[in-house]
Structure 1
């Protein structure tokens, strides 16, 4: 059956067509230019598949293990390179879920698994995140929702869109619930590395035999256009089945994406790039936090990780109406309404993806609309 449309996609498409002047909803670290990598690219590189390994460039997989902290529990054979974390999630969910199977998923959270579950005919079981508790996952509710019909528990950790990070103690309870019924845990860890509160995000693939961690070079390094990500799991059967499915969809990896990503994850580059992203990101989040604090109509839980958070809109209009008005003239600024996450009175505020000048322009125009609506 066709993939159902959703508010998240529709808002993105509308904004893309509107060509706004500013944006305050993106979560991407500043992207480096191609010229930063040209000196280390082989100009004789054939623009065909590298032919080295169907799981992805071996040196890139080695770098993923080292840079993202999987090495102590996982090997290079536990890594599959994919077209971003989106494809990694897709490969896992479509292999594990069938009609009538249950998917336990956090809400508000990343919408892709919900879209795929509905397309497959699986049954989503939603676990609430509480704004009053800093968007903490209701782990007691999750444990109650896990049954013999549960095939996958999905979490986005750090969470999109709240920036919440679930700690190891919570992850151990999720693992116990999954292990009780033989379920897999799929943990989208794409914002890992952008933690602001000093707590490192746990890696599910290192903690559970049926755990899958997905990620990419998009958010932390700003390399979204490479479409290069990965899934890491010690479940070799699942990884092999994912390769079969990929052979019949995207087939093989983008050789240029793999080569540039491999360069970006070399130890002599990676540390400096992370420091740059974190320094810029912290400055942007601080600016956004001060903006929210100065607006009577907004309140939020400052994100513990990543470059986005959900802000409650305390006005006599919905977030949809506010976002639509902000996108139109004279404001011409894009912000995502919380309806994309079933939070109709919230706005997804993001501090990444654009220049500082554009970001500040977006905040200025949002402040103008907030004042006009008060």
Structure 2
């Protein structure tokens, strides 16, 4: 079946040329520039593929295991380097789901799994994260949704877009639920490393033989344009199936993405970059918390991790109306409507982007807009 556009991407397409002056929805850390890597790049680097492995540069795959804490449970052949976490998710979803298979997803959550499942004729079951419980995932509800027909469970941790973290105990219970019916379990970890209130939870690929961890350098490191991510799974056949599917689409990774990502994930460099991202994110999150507390028409559960969260609007305001009106003069400020995640009474607010996001300016303009709605 044809892949249909999702509300989130549709909104981004509509607003790409709006030229906002401020962002209150930036979802990734401040992006480095190419010059930051020139000293570590070989000017004689061939721009052919890496010539060493269709799974990705071995040293890059070793870094991926290290940052995920999986060195003791997985080996580098359990890692496939992909064009971002989006391609990793796509490869797994496309190879695993057949028409009529059941997939369990979360809402709010990253919409890619639902889009792909619909296109492949799968039966979608939804576990809801409820704002009244701090966006917790109801594990009893999750267990009730799983049946012998369940082929796959798709989750995010930290949750995208609420920033709610699954704890180690919750992950262990989710593994038990998946294992009870031999289901695959994908956990997208694009915001891993940016935890504000607890240590980084364990990656699912190390907890379950059918667990699939996906991630990328896009969010925490701000390297979205590299289009470099990964899939980690102990099942050798699953990784090979993904290699085969990619051979019929993008075929190989781009060499510059692989090489720069390898540099970025070198232990000392990664540690410094992550500390910088955490410091900036925490400062912006504090500013955003203070702002929301001061606004009668806004409330939220602050994210436990990651750079984004969902804020509820008062006065029956619609998030789509707010987001589109804010893009117009005199506000010229970008944020995402909650309708992108089936939460129309919310807006997505973010604390990434560095100084270029002009967060303080965006908040002042959002405040002016909200004051006019009272």
Match of 1:123 in 2: 123
Cα drift, residue 316 of structure 1: 3.1
C-alpha separation between the residues in 2 aligned to 1:185 and 1:207?
Answer: 10
Counterparts in 2 of 1:291-302, with a 5 A limit? 291-302=291-302
C-alpha separation between the residues in 1 aligned to 2:317 and 2:284?
Answer: 27
Match of 1:372 in 2: 372
Q: Specify the SS of the correspondent of 1:50.
A: coil
Match of 2:36 in 1: 36
Q: Specify the SS of the correspondent of 1:187.
A: strand
- Contact 1:23–1:354, Cα closer than 8 Å, also in 2: no
C-alpha separation between the residues in 1 aligned to 2:124 and 2:333?
Answer: 33
Match of 2:166 in 1: 166
- Contact 2:29–2:277, Cα closer than 8 Å, also in 1: yes
Cα drift, residue 226 of structure 1: 0.6
Deviations 1:310-341 (A, max 9, x none): 00001233111111211112111111111111
Cα drift, residue 46 of structure 1: 0.7
Between 348-357 and 94-103, the greater mean CA deviation after superposition: 348-357
C-alpha separation between the residues in 2 aligned to 1:231 and 1:80?
Answer: 5
Q: How many residue pairs are counted as aligned between the two chains? A: 374
Deviations 1:196-240 (A, max 9, x none): 002322210000000000001111111111100000000111000
Cα drift, residue 359 of structure 1: 1.4
C-alpha separation between the residues in 1 aligned to 2:179 and 2:54?
Answer: 30
C-alpha separation between the residues in 2 aligned to 1:185 and 1:362?
Answer: 38
Cα drift, residue 67 of structure 1: 2.0
- Contact 1:311–1:349, Cα closer than 8 Å, also in 2: yes
- Contact 1:105–1:127, Cα closer than 8 Å, also in 2: yes
Match of 1:278 in 2: 278
Cα drift, residue 30 of structure 1: 0.8
Counterparts in 2 of 1:63-212, with a 5 A limit? 63-212=63-212
Cα drift, residue 35 of structure 1: 0.8
C-alpha separation between the residues in 1 aligned to 2:120 and 2:353?
Answer: 32
Counterparts in 2 of 1:348-363, with a 5 A limit? 348-355=348-355, 358-363=358-363
C-alpha separation between the residues in 2 aligned to 1:275 and 1:168?
Answer: 23
Match of 2:219 in 1: 219
- Contact 2:3–2:119, Cα closer than 8 Å, also in 1: yes
Match of 1:323 in 2: 323
Deviations 1:319-367 (A, max 9, x none): 1111121111211111111111111101100111252561111111100
Segments of 5+ residues of structure 2 without an aligned counterpart are none
C-alpha separation between the residues in 2 aligned to 1:72 and 1:223?
Answer: 27
C-alpha separation between the residues in 1 aligned to 2:134 and 2:205?
Answer: 26
- Contact 1:89–1:214, Cα closer than 8 Å, also in 2: yes
C-alpha separation between the residues in 1 aligned to 2:258 and 2:357?
Answer: 32
Q: Specify the SS of the correspondent of 1:355.
A: helix
Change beyond 3 A, Cα 1:75–1:51: same
Cα drift, residue 22 of structure 1: 1.5
Q: Specify the SS of the correspondent of 1:185.
A: strand
